[in-house]
Amino acid sequence: MDWPLWEKKILELTAKFPGKTTANKLGAMVAGSTKEQLDGLLLEGFAGFVHQTAFLARVRTPADIIGIFADAPRNGDIDLLLRISQVDANPVRGRFLVFIKRRMEFVGSQDAGFLSFDIPFPVAIHVTGNILIVQVMTMQSGISTWGRIIGQRFRKKLTVVRADYFHEKTMGFIVAAGGESPKYIDCSRRAVELMKSNRVDTFGGRYSAGLDGDTTYRTIRGKGKRALRESRLKDFNSLIGATHILNAELVFKAAHADLEAGSKVALYPNVGKVSFRSNLEGCDPDEFLKKLATT
């Protein structure tokens, strides 16, 4: 069964399920679907819908990395479990959905005290050519949502969920399985190309001055804020002249580089980290990431 994840399609898919609101219908759809169907939905979501943070790395032995994930265990009390494995032999390409366990701590309501739970978080892994892409779904749910997910009431969430944790775990899994240590990709040059485009506005940036420190430029936040190119041209030129870009906050004014108009992206180019801050409907984040990684 095909599981496209566009918003319109979601509404179509949920239409036949009971419930007054979309949330209720979605709940009914989740309840009425198999684990395999929901996993497929998740993996497809990484290719064009879910808010996510991606990490780009270069590998010398992509076939070995693909083999490691294809052979990952599907069951057991371990930190990384394989859910979906899609491997192509020619060209060598692999796409995987894994769940990575993260211990989350909460303060329970009333006298429940401290509570901890092992939560599986979905992570998509993509090996294409010599590039390894790790995509982590952004989880910013409030305390009440976490309560609903776990089925308990909480007063406070003590664990901060950061995408970097899942990247680290994924890399650790590869090395523990006998694979090479992937090297992150400095995509500063590509980031500068994006910033130079008239279709992209840059609202903040930070670049490295070696060990002497770094320089940060930011526009005034809030209503009426203007892009760096319009408000601080000299600073903008310094930023795009730098060799190593540490951070760049971009908003796409028009469709460009496989992302749609309105897309918001926070780049950490020197370490190959990309945070998509907006809905990716109609975008092709996979292609965007692959081009970014091709330095």
Partner 1 sequence: MNFLKSWLLREVWPVIARRFFHLREIERFIEMTGERYLDTARWAGMRGISEIEAERQLEYGVQSGILQRCFLYEWPDSPVQFIVPPEYVGRKVKLRDIGYIGEDDGRVIAVSEFRVREIFIAAGAN
Smaller CB separation from partner 1, 102 or 167: 167
Residue 184's nearest CA partner among 106, 272, 289 is 272
Residue 65 Cβ vs partner 1, minimum distance, rounded to whole Å: 14
Count the Cβ atoms, other than its own, within 10 Å of residue 14. Answer: 20
Helix (H) / strand (E) element for 115: namely: strand 114-128
Helix (H) / strand (E) element for 188: namely: helix 188-196
Please list every residue from 217 through 256 that binds partner 1, using CB under 8 A: 243-244, 246-247
How many of the chain's residues bind partner 1 (CB under 8 A)? Answer: 25
Decide: residue 264, CB within 10 A, 0-12 exposed, 13-18 middle, 19+ buried. middle
Smaller CB separation from partner 1, 55 or 288: 55
Tokens of 71: 């052979």
Residue 207's nearest CA partner among 175, 182, 243 is 243
Smaller CB separation from partner 1, 9 or 60: 60
Residue 244 Cβ vs partner 1, minimum distance, rounded to whole Å: 8
| 8 A C-beta contact, residue 166 and residue 97 | no
Residue 247 Cβ vs partner 1, minimum distance, rounded to whole Å: 7
Residue 182 Cβ vs partner 1, minimum distance, rounded to whole Å: 7
Residue 277 Cβ vs partner 1, minimum distance, rounded to whole Å: 15
Cα→Cα distances 249→118, 240, 276, 289, Å: 33, 13, 10, 16
Distance CA 229, CA 109 (A): 50
Please list every residue from 14 through 73 that binds partner 1, using CB under 8 A: none
Residue 120: which residues within 8 A CB-CB, separation 6 or more?
Answer: 81, 99, 100, 101, 102
Q: For 15-81, what is the HEC assignment?
A: HCCCCCCHHHHHHHHHHCCCHHHHHHHHHHHHCCCCCEEEEEEECCCHHHHHHHHHCCCCCCCCCEE
CA dihedral 13, 19, 20, 22 (to 10 degrees): -40
Q: Pick from 33, 138, 208, 278 the residue near partner 1 by CB under 8 A.
A: 208
Residue 259's nearest CA partner among 213, 217, 290, 226 is 290
Site string for partner 1, 181-200 (x = CB under 8 A): xxxx-x--------------
Q: Pick from 113, 142, 210, 224 the residue near partner 1 by CB under 8 A.
A: 210
Q: Pick from 271, 274, 289, 292 the residue near partner 1 by CB under 8 A.
A: 271
> 38 φ, ψ to 5°?
-70, -35
Please list every residue from 113 through 132 that binds partner 1, using CB under 8 A: none
Residue 201 Cβ vs partner 1, minimum distance, rounded to whole Å: 21
Smaller CB separation from partner 1, 109 or 243: 243
Residue 142 Cβ vs partner 1, minimum distance, rounded to whole Å: 24
Stretch touching partner 1 by CB under 8 A, among 60-68, 102-110, 209-217, 253-261? 209-217
Residue 242 Cβ vs partner 1, minimum distance, rounded to whole Å: 11
Smaller CB separation from partner 1, 146 or 203: 203
Please list every residue from 146 through 175 that binds partner 1, using CB under 8 A: 164, 167-168, 171-172, 175
The residues binding partner 1 (CB under 8 A) are: 164, 167-168, 171-172, 175, 181-184, 186, 208, 210-214, 243-244, 246-247, 268, 270-271, 273
